[in-house]
A and B are shown apart, each in its own frame.
Chain A
Amino acid sequence: MTTSTQLGTSPVRQSKLTRGQRPKWLVPVIGVAAIVAGAALAALVGFSIALWALFAAVIFLVVGPLAVGLIEGSRSGTDSLMTFLVYAAFILAVIPLISVIWTVLVNGIPGLTSNMLFTSMNGVTGFHDNQADAPGSVIGGAYHAIVGTVSITFWATLMSVPVGLLTAIYLVEYSRGGWLGKAITFFVDVMTGIPSIVAGLFAAALFGMIFGPSTRTGFVAAVALTVLMIPTVVKNTEEMLRIVPNELREASYALGVRKWRTILKVVIPTAISGIASGVTLAIARVIGETAPLLVTAGFATAINWNSFSGWMTTLPTFIYYQIMTPTSPTNPDPSLQRAWAAALILIVIVMLLNLVARLIARAFAPKTAGR
């Protein structure tokens, strides 16, 4: 009772514990001041937004920590300097990302017509492009490229996930630091560094040797992508399996469970969310590959669902060819529009994959709630 009245009568009383702290408004005010001062300075030199941002950031990074340091002592000053630096680094890191997404959205959305999504380039010639005068009247699209991307990635995933998963299981659960395990680790590390075009040439040469020169199908491309995916899947799965506590394996052995069953029923389920998201990220990485596809899958304008015969186009190669060799050399705008729209579709697919990875991770994550 007494305490509450006391508190009520002295609303401005400052706690002894918070004395000597900076007022809440200090940092925002310095921020605003830095923006204004930055604008003024930039105007002196010759105004541009980049200069403005640079000056404002520098002023803020100098004045903010100084002010905090003067009020709260040097430890707090250093602390806020570091905090602001971390935020600055973060902003620098996301600028390119946001700018890429923004550019692709702005350029891609006008081209995202139903033609784009549901028709191929079969029979579309420079004549049609010359006729097109508005974004909506461009005909032809990337349906065949979407089909190609989906089927080639599907085959690549189907081949690389089992191989990668089993390799990782061997490395973590069976090799016990033997020479074979060390050799595999070494070669996987080397494979990680293979340039993607080399993987493409490898697949092209391999199939050329077996089925005759210039064998180009979606499957050859899938093999090239498999070479690129396997090391990623191995490395990631290995990591995920290693963080499964040994105690769980021992608990399982102590119940009289065989090793392979322990791996299958205890170790993998415990790590599955990480493994699944790793696989998805590996897919997301190869889905945007261009170089190896140019030398393995050929180039098609028509829809081809069959990865084992005939050439195929994927979204990245579609973009590449639309930009480098526009359908109508005299009027490249429709091709440009298709390229941007295809880029947007590719980004959306990758984002969807990431989303799927998160959902999988959430669905499989060990259940820890409900204490």
Chain B
Amino acid sequence: MSKRIDVENLNVYYGDFLAVQDVSMNIEPRSVTAFIGPSGCGKSTFLRTLNRMHEVIPGAYAQGKVLLDGDDLYGKGVDPVTVRSMVGMVFQRPNPFPTMSIRDNVLAGVKLNNKRISSKDADDLVESSLRGANLWNEVKDRLDKPGSGLSGGQQQRLCIARAIAVKPDVILMDEPCSALDPISTLAIEDLINEIKTDYTVVIVTHNMQQASRVSDKTAFFNIEGTGKPGRLIEYAPTTDIFNNPQKKDTEDYVSGRFG
């Protein structure tokens, strides 16, 4: 399953501080969308509004509409927990649960919710998720070992396996490779290319080569100065953003001529 996302006039706040202003964009299903832009322009903030993780921070809230296949995530009576089980997330720093084995980490979404699952189904789910995250061959002999014993890149793929094990429609990734070495980064990029056949993927990245390698469309965010809100400057197919940007800011940023 894979769903489209339509954002309409979204403003995102931390208390009184308007962090992201008036963003509208349409994200197609089965595509990879990259968010680029300078630090502090609100990429992470905006990304986290797409699965209502933003409001976990005290005082934080969002105004506007985020439609997941037409249903507003911020509509009345919508349970953020339901939203998050449909829109998964992978964080900047790999964060496997330290108290759990590799296997239990993959099953975390099922087990933490106390869903019943037969041990055969669990085995199948662990294998398919780890295969989906290109990690199965590396860990199949040590599924009962702690997840925190893996290398950084493996941990991040474990987190991706954990995210896809709950069968979401969308996967959000916030700079998933920024803590990883080039080889692990490549492994994750390959993975993103594979999983986009099943999921809508949105990825924040600082690395413009990465954006151009993995994404179909790219959104460039910018900020006028500290204390000012971040805005969506340009949103277009990735090749256009990098080869034929319409806005001067975008051109400056992608060509490295940025102050």
Contacts and interface: CB of A to CB of B under 8 A. Distances in A.
Contacts of B58: 176-177
Interface string B92-130: 010111110100000011011110000000000000000
Contact of A370 (B51, B53, B146): B146
Given A248-B97, A266-B97, A368 B148 contact: yes
Contacts of B146: 366-370
A252 B89 CA distance: 10
A82 to B, nearest CB: 36
A255 B109 contact: yes
B98 A254 contact: no
A133 B95 CA distance: 69
B97 A253 contact: no
Contacts of A253: 53, 56, 81, 84
B95 A265 contact: no
Interface stretch (B159-167, B190-198, B244-252): B159-167
Interface in A347-371: 366-371
Given A255-B163, A257-B113, A371 B81 contact: no
A250 B94 CA distance: 12
B140 interface: no
B42 interface: no
A304 interface: no
Contacts of A250: 53, 56, 89, 91, 95
Interface string A69-107: 000000000000000000000000000000000000000
B85 A256 contact: yes
A255 B162 contact: yes
B113 A269 contact: no
A57 to B, nearest CB: 45
Q: How large is the interface on A (under 10, 10 to 19, 20 to 34, 35 or more residues)?
A: 20 to 34
A249 B91 CA distance: 12
A177 to B, nearest CB: 7
A257 B98 contact: no
Given A177-B58, A366-B98, A371-B149, A258 B81 contact: yes
A251 B85 contact: no
Contacts of B91: 247, 250-251, 254
B145 interface: yes
Nearest to A251: B95
Given A251-B159, A252-B108, A366 B148 contact: yes
A183 B84 CA distance: 33
B149 A369 contact: yes
A258 B114 CA distance: 11
A247 B84 contact: no
Interface in A220-267: 245, 247-258, 261-262, 265-266
Interface string A168-191: 000000001100000000000000
Nearest to A257: B112
Given A258-B81, A265-B112, A367-B146, A247 B93 contact: yes
A367 B109 contact: no
Given A366-B148, A367-B148, A369-B146, A254 B89 contact: yes
Given A253-B84, A262-B112, A366-B146, 20 more contacts: A177-B58, A245-B95, A247-B93, A248-B98, A250-B53, A250-B89, A250-B91, A252-B97, A254-B91, A255-B84, A257-B109, A261-B114, A269-B99, A270-B98, A270-B99, A367-B101, A368-B98, A368-B148, A371-B149, A371-B151
Interface of B: 51, 53, 56, 58, 81-82, 84-86, 88-89, 91, 93, 95-99, 101, 108-109, 111-114, 142, 145-146, 148-151, 159, 162-163, 166
15 contacts: A245-B95, A248-B97, A251-B95, A251-B96, A253-B56, A255-B166, A256-B81, A256-B85, A256-B109, A258-B113, A265-B111, A266-B112, A270-B97, A369-B146, A371-B151
